[in-house]
Amino acid sequence: MRTELQARLAEIPLIDHHVHGPLKDHVSRAEFELLITESDRPVPAWMTQFDSQVGFAVRRHCAPVLGLPPHASPEEYWATRSGLEPGELTRRLLAASRTRRWLVETGYAGERIAGLSEFGELVEGRVDEVVRLESVLESVARGCTADGLVAAFRDELQRRARDAVGLKSIVAYRHGFDFDPEPPSRGDVLRAAERWLRTVDAGAEPRVDDIVLLRMLLREGVSTGLPLQLHAGYGDPDVELHRCDPLLLTRWLKAIEGSGTDVLLLHCYPFHRNAGYLAQAFPHVYFDVGLAINYTGARSAAVVAESLELAPFAKLLYSSDAWGPPELHHLGAVLWRRGMALAMAEWVDEGEWSLEEAVRVATLIGRENAARVYGLDDD
């Protein structure tokens, strides 16, 4: 049954509802190893990042796309990969993922990766933009007055969001979810803006981590009515992971419930069961296990299975959260399909589920829920 189910799931034209651009240029092996971990610390000399679940998954699933046998050694893999022109490498891996549509979050370290239009040229499928709220605010900070900051942000957000399908907040990284669920007062925002802009005027790189300003961004984002993605759970060492448990959002989720805005909790690991509870309790809450799929490699089947507990099947989505190495764009899709197939094949074999229902649920999660939430009518 597993084989048949895997074959059926391989055909689903995925919508990757949260992804970033692939690398534009060659990278060194040391750079590559830093791009297949969420750590931002140099990889110590006594280890290689290939010795990890994601490293093993690269060798298993990406090596064949490059014409190598599965489990090629890191050295063989690196030699072959280095011989390929970056665009060619990316095209191959992205095509192999059989992802039809990519919702691309453009707010992080954009200079090293393909922009939206470049991304579009690398794939047969379509690309759409998801705009990061913090980046928009940071882009208007220089030269702005505290008084004018919110208006300048709104103008820029309106401009940026015109063709976007969704918004994203990284309040999890910049503060954590332990914040006052009510929107901030005008006075509080003004004072926070003054403090922040003073540091910007003094020459600091604009980086918003004041929780009052971050809450203002959430309020503004919610008011657009666009689907709002929130990083939750696992990420780089900037997060204080226990402060990124989506349960800490409970009061905020209730506070915005009447707005009509959908909230999409991204990754959520190791709190994905908590996210499943929120997705059952609240009609406007969705989640995925995005980033955690790639980084748990062979174990991602367990993580995917755990995501299939409390949430109604209309409330789960697929994303790779790939950034940089196109291996990650491919792996996200391969491992998600594998995880879904392994979990559901067991249920089908046992008679708990029927095969057709399993394929239908995978199609909901792999594309149809995203099409509905983001209003991708043409997909």
Question: Could you say whether residue 37 binds its own copies (CB under 8 A)?
Answer: yes
152 membership: H or E segment, kind and range:
helix 146-161
CA–CA distance, 83 with 203 (Å, rounded to integer): 42
Short-list 17, 41, 163, CA closest to 104? 17
SS (H, E, C) 30-87: HHHHHHCCCCCCCCCCCCCCCCCHHHHHHHHHHCHHHCCCCCCCHHHHHHHHHCCCHH
Question: Could you say whether residue 280 binds its own copies (CB under 8 A)?
Answer: yes
- The CA-to-CA distance between both ends of the chain, in Å, stands at 29
Span from 109-117, 159-167, 207-215, 242-250 in contact with its own copies (CB under 8 A): 242-250
Span from 17-25, 53-61, 207-215, 217-225 in contact with its own copies (CB under 8 A): 53-61
Closest separation in Å from C-beta 51 to its own copies: 5
Span from 13-21, 31-39, 75-83, 322-330 in contact with its own copies (CB under 8 A): 31-39
Which residues between 246 and 265 bind its own copies (CB under 8 A)? 247-248, 250-251, 254
Taking the CA of residue 47 as centre, how many other CA atoms within 13 Å lie in the half-sphere pointing to its CB? 12
Question: Could you say whether residue 299 binds its own copies (CB under 8 A)?
Answer: yes
CA–CA distance, 113 with 325 (Å, rounded to integer): 9
Span from 82-90, 179-187, 189-197, 300-308 in contact with its own copies (CB under 8 A): 300-308
DSSP 243: G
Question: Could you say whether residue 56 binds its own copies (CB under 8 A)?
Answer: yes
Residue ranges that bind its own copies, judged by CB under 8 A: 37-39, 41-44, 46-47, 49, 51-53, 55-57, 60, 70-71, 234, 236-237, 240-242, 245, 247-248, 250-251, 254, 269-270, 273-274, 277, 280-283, 295-299, 302-303, 305-306, 308-315, 347, 350-354, 357, 361, 364, 372
